[in-house]
Structure 1
Amino acid sequence: MSINKESDVAANLQIGPTSLGMVRIYIEAEGIDLPLDFDPDEAEEIAEEIKAAAARARKVK
């Protein structure tokens, strides 16, 4: 699946700190439990990428 292809998959997303000082992005969908841990610097880079993508998406509409 490419990033630009629509999907009917529904998922829950949780984001928060772990007890080990990491940032966890937890994705849960039918048959999938995917914990992704990032150090704080990586998490901030991801947040910046999400904000930049949101800004570009606003220009599409």
Structure 2
Amino acid sequence: MGINKESDVEASLQIGPTSLGMVRIYIAGNGVDLPLDFDPDEADEIAEELASAARAARSMGEKPKPKGGKRTR
């Protein structure tokens, strides 16, 4: 599967600090439990990459409709 291929795979995503001063991205779903730990500087870089990807996606035109109904704020 590539970055640009749609998938019906569902997973849970949690992000938060650990007791050891790391930032954990935790992905769970379909028999997979994947904890990914990053130091705070790496987490900042990831956040910047996410923001950059969001800006690029916005510039590509119409936003895809969220699955499962309307999104509310």
> Same fold by TM (over 0.5)?
yes
The answer for unaligned runs of 5 or more in structure 1 is: none
Q: Which runs of 4+ in 1 moved over 6 A?
A: none
Alignment match, 2:47? 47
Identity level (%): 74
Cα distance in 2, alignment partners of residues 30 and 5 from structure 1: 19
Q: Normalising by the residue count of structure 1, what TM-score does the alignment of the two structures yield? A: 0.98
Shift of 1:27: 0.2
Deviations 1:9-60, CA, capped at 9 Å, x for gaps: 0110000000000000000111000000000000000000000000000011
The answer for unaligned runs of 5 or more in structure 2 is: 62-73
- 1:23 equivalent to 2:16? Answer no
Q: Normalising by the residue count of structure 2, what TM-score does the alignment of the two structures yield? A: 0.82
Q: How many residues get paired?
A: 61
Cα distance in 1, alignment partners of residues 58 and 9 from structure 2: 23
Alignment match, 2:4? 4
Higher relative contact order (Cα pairs below 8 Å, separated by 6+ residues): 1
Note the aligned Cα RMSD (angstroms).
Answer: 0.4
Which has the greater radius of gyration?
2
Compare the two structures and name the one with the higher helix fraction.
Answer: 1
